[in-house]
Amino acid sequence: MNPFHKFVSGHEQLLKGGRKIRLGKLKQAVRRTQISPGAPKVLLFSPHPDDECITGELALRLLHEAKWNITNVAVTLGSRSERRKARRRELQNACASLGFELIVPGKLGLERINPESRRRNQAHWGAAVKVIARILAEHRPRVIFVPHEHDGHETHIGTHFLVLDALKTLPRNFKCHLIETEFWGQMTEPNLLVESGVDDVAALIAGLACHAGEVRRNPYHARLPAWMMDNVRRGAELVGGQGGSAPDFTFATIYRLSLWRGGKLIPAGGRFLSCRENAASLFR
């Protein structure tokens, strides 16, 4: 008998079991972190409700380990207008589960945030850029998260350029760290691999389960551990260098770290960030 048959079968049974866990808001109390009024701020620009959970590991670690203030900016509430009110309720539950603050531009988010709008509707795009620029100027974040420019979905790509265009309108002395994320499309040159512990992965899945209307049609919440395990495989070579030894991580998220200084992006040195280190050490 193939000695790996039991190993593979176990994975299959775990996935099936995960899909049966009740969706929606957790009934039990969630982990709470006390944040001081002067704590550094982090803005997580999410193209859709659920991206705050899928790509939010580093933000979650900054909350728990460094006690930084994490705010999810829900750039859109999805393309289906009839689902937006429900998606906002689901998003509020997800952010509360994770301990993130929430900003939704307007009542139901922005619309038509995609490269086509950027090219062909300057008035619409310019108004959206002003909304994001106001949020950045008001909060003056130490760190912002945004999808990378080839993230495989038009709203993810649109969100990348929306935030970058907004940054370009701010005074040249505005500065922050910029973390690019991936989900629909992989980065070819990431520079940061962030380890996740079991508690964090479980918290991210619980947040995703709050987006019940989405994960019922596609149970990607149950597949998140497998995705994060595969990130270790990719990140070992892409971040650590070809032929190098893989870090002893089970779960991880891939990012690209840059600096925004003098009105432009400046590459920053990346690395493996283990659970033994405080996530704030990246931004000293």
CATH code of the domain in which 271 resides? 3.40.50.10320
How far is 56 from 72, CA to CA, in rounded Å?
A: 9
Would you say residue 149 lies in a domain? yes
Predicted local distance difference test score (pLDDT) of residue 27: 66
Where does the pLDDT of residue 28 fall: very low under 50, low under 70, confident under 90, or very high at 90 and above?
Answer: low
Indicate the average pLDDT of the chain: 93
Q: What is the mean pLDDT of the segment spanning 207-233?
A: 93
168 against 25, higher pLDDT = 168
Contacts of 279 (CB under 8 A, 6+ apart): 58, 61, 62, 65, 66, 194, 273
Would you say residue 7 lies in a domain? no
Q: What is the mean pLDDT of the segment spanning 247-261?
A: 97
Would you say residue 154 lies in a domain? yes
Highest mean pLDDT among 10-24, 79-93, 170-184, 211-225: 170-184
pTM higher than 0.85, yes or no?
yes
How far is 182 from 74, CA to CA, in rounded Å?
A: 16
Domain residues for the domain of 70 are 37-283
Provide the number of structural domains found in the chain.
1
User: Contact at 8 Å (CB) between 52 and 207?
Assistant: yes
Would you say residue 1 lies in a domain? no
Would you say residue 12 lies in a domain? no
Alpha-helical runs (H) found in 75-219: 84-98, 115-120, 122-139, 154-169, 198-209, 212-215
Would you say residue 227 lies in a domain? yes
Would you say residue 19 lies in a domain? no
Q: What is the mean pLDDT of the segment spanning 93-110?
A: 94
Using the predicted structure, report yes or no on whether residue 29 has a pLDDT greater than 70. no
Where does the pLDDT of residue 23 fall: very low under 50, low under 70, confident under 90, or very high at 90 and above?
Answer: confident
CA distances, 220 to each of 87, 144, 206 (Å): 16, 25, 12
Name the β-bridge partners of 253. 194
Would you say residue 27 lies in a domain? no
